[in-house]
Amino acid sequence: MSTKKFARESAVIMTEMVLPNDTNTLNNLMGGKLMHWMDVVAAIAAQKHSNSIVVTASADNISFQEPIALGNVVTLKAQVTRAFNSSMEVFIEVTAEDIPANKKVMTHRAFFTFVAVNENNKPSRIPELVPETPEEIENFQGALRRRQLRLVLAKRMKPEDAVELKSIFNLD
């Protein structure tokens, strides 16, 4: 297996249409349905990077500001931002489009973390990720402090060990 892969090699675009079964009583897309689509598109990106089975380890805060209406076309783009040992962070961007009205809005951005696992469900080593574009480099650099924040919140890292995170608050 190659030990390095480009960020762009993991890119995935998924398109869905909001149908009556996907909506709440206000005829807007259910939050849980959107999170399901986000989980699927991000898992595919993580699989493409790792060439492995992956499991969702965490989803960073997702806020719902813009409702997505029945009949809208939802486009979900996902790409791995950084790979660690067995885990990788995936960035997801969601846009909703009312095609007849010619309106398109970016509705959500989120980061999910996936872990590559082997046939015994044990975390397995993944290739290093190489960012190329300015946006990929910015996401790659930010991934380390976001990882530390989520591991501290999950009680998997001591706050005093979150060196990268502390540096943005000038706590040293």
Ligand X SMILES: CC(C)(COP(=O)(O)OP(=O)(O)OC[C@H]1O[C@@H](n2cnc3c(N)ncnc32)[C@H](O)[C@@H]1OP(=O)(O)O)[C@@H](O)C(=O)NCCC(=O)NCCS
Beta-strand ranges (E) seen in 7-156 are 12-17, 53-59, 73-83, 87-98, 103-117, 128-130
CA–CA separation, 140 and 64 (whole Å): 25
Q: Stretches 90-98, 110-118, 131-139, 162-170: which one binds ligand X (CB under 6 A)?
A: 110-118
CB–CB of 59/114 below 8 Å?
no
Determine the size of the site formed for ligand X (CB under 6 A): 16
45: β partners: none
- Choose which of 14, 78, 94, 115 interacts with ligand X (CB under 6 A): 115
Judged by beta carbon, residue 18 or residue 88, the one nearer ligand X is 88
Residue 151 touches ligand X, criterion: CB under 6 A: yes
**Per CB under 6 A, which of residues 23..62 are in contact with ligand X?**
55-58
Residue 142 touches ligand X, criterion: CB under 6 A: no
Positive or negative, the Cα torsion across 21, 24, 27, 33?
negative
- Choose which of 13, 99, 106, 154 interacts with ligand X (CB under 6 A): 154
